[in-house]
Amino acid sequence: MMSVGQPAWEVVTVADRAEYWLESHWYFAVAYMILAVLAVAAMVVALGMGLIYGERKIAAHFQCRMGPMRVGYHGILQSIADTIKLLLKEDIVPERADKVLHLVGPFLTLVVTILILGVLPYSPLLQLADVSLGVLYLTALSGLSVLGLLLGGWSSNNKWSLLGGMRAAAQVISYEITATLALLVVTMFAGTLTLSGIVQSQAQGWWVWRAHGVGLLSMGLFMIAATAEINRTPFDIPEGESELTGGFHTEYSGLRFAFFFLAEFINMFVVAGITVTLFLGGWMPLRIGNWETFNNLMGLIPPSLWFLGKVVVMVFVLMWFRWTFPRMRVDQLMRLEWKFLLPIGFINLFAAAVIILCKWYFFPV
């Protein structure tokens, strides 16, 4: 049991352990890393299936219907059936498409997403690598993810796809700024760029409520910007189902389409994971001031469950957005970013700096 005020979470990443073994038994370290990579791959598949099933069920219940019910108990095997179908489908490449770029597009999108999965701290003992420039790494990768969409839109040689790709590029690059400003606030609070360090800085209270609303505002800004970056409703204009007939993925089918689709769902998990890590204490249990018994009870729940629970809540919020809001228009989207979110983000950053200078936290750091 932890004593209040002295949280001592020791973070050991998978990479750390491999490094430890590297000195004595290098083959053991290599095998360990291969196992870790395989685990990430398995996680991608499991997450994809789980999230797709979850989204379908949640959407169905928002819409007064049952959702998938046929395959397995309450349709629980539906995702597996869908995966098999997508695997067996013909992979159609348009005749006048740019064949290489058409192939690279979906791969790039998925790979970028998986790279982020590697640095998320799931628990003190479960993190693939604790990159010393963690936040910068996240920002860089999320900026890269647009390249896949743009390539997909460009290489399809279809005007609708091109429009979708262009929209995606404009949108992601714009909202990247707000997302980064929101992340900077937390970086300034925590005084570190490593993700595990940011989590540990929240032992006394999560950043979302520790800084007089500044944290809450940054979280709101980040959620809006991140929803736009992963192209989900109300910002799904690159797809624009009813306008662009699918946008950048109009000309994709079979496994290539599945990669875009999978990336979209994993991205949702990634965004929820980043939000949780930065604003909601990551794997830290909930602590309230000096409520000893409550804090001890919360401490009994393992950190990985805390992380998972928080992520599930955030993913649910993202799904809630999607099944409630209509879609925005492309110029309204730009106006929202450049005229509202960006100034608010800068003011918020300034307020955060003032709070740090004056040490106006709710709980001591």
Partner 1 sequence: MSVTVRTLSELLMPPSVADSPLSTQEYFVNMGPQHPIAHGSLRIVLLLDGETIRKVIPVPGYVHRGIEKMCEHMNYRKIIPLTDRMDYLSALMNNWVVARTVEMAAGIETNARIETIRTIMSELQRLQSHVLWWGVLGMDLGAFTAFLYSFRDREIIGEIFEETIGARLTMNYIQPGGLMYDILPDFVSKVKKLLGYLRPLINEYDALLSGNAILQERLRNIGILDGKDAISLGCTGPVLRASGVPYDLRKVEPYGVYDKVDFDVVIGTKGDCWDRYYVRMEEMRQSIRIVEQLIDNLPAGPYMVTKYNARLKLPKGRYYGQVETARGVLGAFIYSDGDGDAPYRMHFRSPNFNNLWAVTHIAPGWRIADYISIQSSLDLVIPDIDR
Contact pick of 20, 21, 28, 62 for partner 1 (by CB under 8 A): 62
Half-sphere exposure of 342 (CA within 13 A, CB side): 12
* CA of residue 55 relative to chain centroid, distance: 15
Nearest CB to partner 1, comparing residues 230 and 244: 244
Q: Is 326 in the site for partner 1 (CB under 8 A)?
A: yes
Contact pick of 121, 152, 234, 285 for partner 1 (by CB under 8 A): 234
Nearest CB to partner 1, comparing residues 3 and 324: 324
Point out which span in 17-25, 121-129, 185-193, 243-251 binds partner 1 (CB under 8 A). Answer: 243-251
Q: Is 324 in the site for partner 1 (CB under 8 A)?
A: yes
**Sign of the alpha-carbon torsion through 49, 277, 307, 227:** negative
User: Hey, what are 209's tokens?
Assistant: 């409520």
Q: Is 96 in the site for partner 1 (CB under 8 A)?
A: no
Give the nearest distance from C-beta 245 to partner 1 in angstroms: 6
Q: Is 23 in the site for partner 1 (CB under 8 A)?
A: no
Contact pick of 32, 317, 327, 344 for partner 1 (by CB under 8 A): 327
Q: Is 341 in the site for partner 1 (CB under 8 A)?
A: no
State the alpha helices, DSSP H only, in the chain: 14-24, 26-62, 78-88, 99-117, 134-155, 159-190, 195-200, 207-210, 214-229, 241-244, 254-279, 292-300, 303-322, 330-335, 342-358
CA dihedral 97, 101, 103, 107 (to 10 degrees): -150
Residues 219 and 277: their CA atoms lie apart, in Å, by 11
Residues that bind partner 1 (rule: CB under 8 A) add up to a total of: 28
Q: Is 132 in the site for partner 1 (CB under 8 A)?
A: no
Given the rule CB under 8 A, which residues bind partner 1?
Answer: 59, 62-65, 159-160, 163, 233-234, 236-237, 240-245, 323-332
